[in-house]
Amino acid sequence: MLEVRNLNVNYGPVTALRGVKLKIGRGEVVAVIGANGAGKSTLLKTISGAIAPSSGEICFLDKRIDGMAAYKNVRDGLSLVPEGRRIFPQLTVDENLTAGALIRADPNGIAQDRKKVYDLFPRLRDRMRQMGGTLSGGEQQMLAIGRGLMARPKVLLLDEPSMGLAPIIVSAIFAILREINAYGTAILLVEQNSRKALEFASRGYVLENGQIVLSGNTEDLAANPRVKEAYLGQSVLVQ
């Protein structure tokens, strides 16, 4: 469904990504873990079209999309929920959701998806007329995910959805992400919370210094001594 081949991204003389390869199939949940500065956010931004790659290929639904404008990728079914939420603080919750559907021209479908978002996140329904900037961090993350869903994505790109949130809120958000995946939406998740990422996904990649150094199913990655020492701690096991 989505495949990245030999992707390279440079910021001037600095190489942010080097020879990255990954795949995600229909309805699959795939995690990318790594330390801060490993290139995880750059990877998602490049896939989404926000950053142009220096070389390599990105294929989505059997079509080359590397270098394609981000709004065209959204229209075709790639939706990025960015790091730090990036909601519109001066717009209401409902207006933020409307902004997520600007590429669409199907009012009935938009209304159905708005209802689905409010069903997934009842707290947002309660605050639909409230300004986005007045929400708590967890509510803003819910709104950012809901806004991403309003584009009706085939693949949802999630950049650090647990960042800065209390563990109970993180658990609630990941439970809702499971529901979203159950509807058939594939998820590519970038996370510093490696334990949560490997519990959530079925396959994963380890990104270090802009390169994929390990990949496989999440049970094997969680049992790998290198991953346990660097990202999980010796006593952590995925059940």
Evaluate whether residue 122 is within a structural domain.
Answer: no
Evaluate whether residue 58 is within a structural domain.
Answer: yes
pLDDT of residue 196: 92
Query: How far apart, in whole angstroms, are the C-alpha atoms of residue 235 and residue 15?
Result: 34
Query: How far apart, in whole angstroms, are the C-alpha atoms of residue 74 and residue 237?
Result: 36
The mean per-residue pLDDT over the stretch 46-57 comes to: 95
Q: pTM (2 decimals)?
A: 0.91
pLDDT digit string, tens, across residues 159-172: 999 988 899 999 99
Query: How far apart, in whole angstroms, are the C-alpha atoms of residue 90 and residue 80?
Result: 21
Which H helix or E strand runs over 168? Answer: helix 167-182
Evaluate whether residue 109 is within a structural domain.
Answer: no
Evaluate whether residue 130 is within a structural domain.
Answer: no
pLDDT digit string, tens, across residues 184-224: 999 999 988 899 999 999 999 999 999 999 999 999 999 99
Checking DSSP bridges between strand 29-33 and strand 14-24, what pairing results, if any? Answer: unpaired
- Residue 27, domain extent: 2-91+151-232
> What's the domain count of the chain?
1
pLDDT of residue 232: 85
Give the tokens for residue 62.
């059997």
Evaluate whether residue 129 is within a structural domain.
Answer: no
Evaluate whether residue 136 is within a structural domain.
Answer: no
Residue 7: give its domain's CATH number: 3.40.50.300
Residues comprising the chain, all counted: 239
Evaluate whether residue 76 is within a structural domain.
Answer: yes
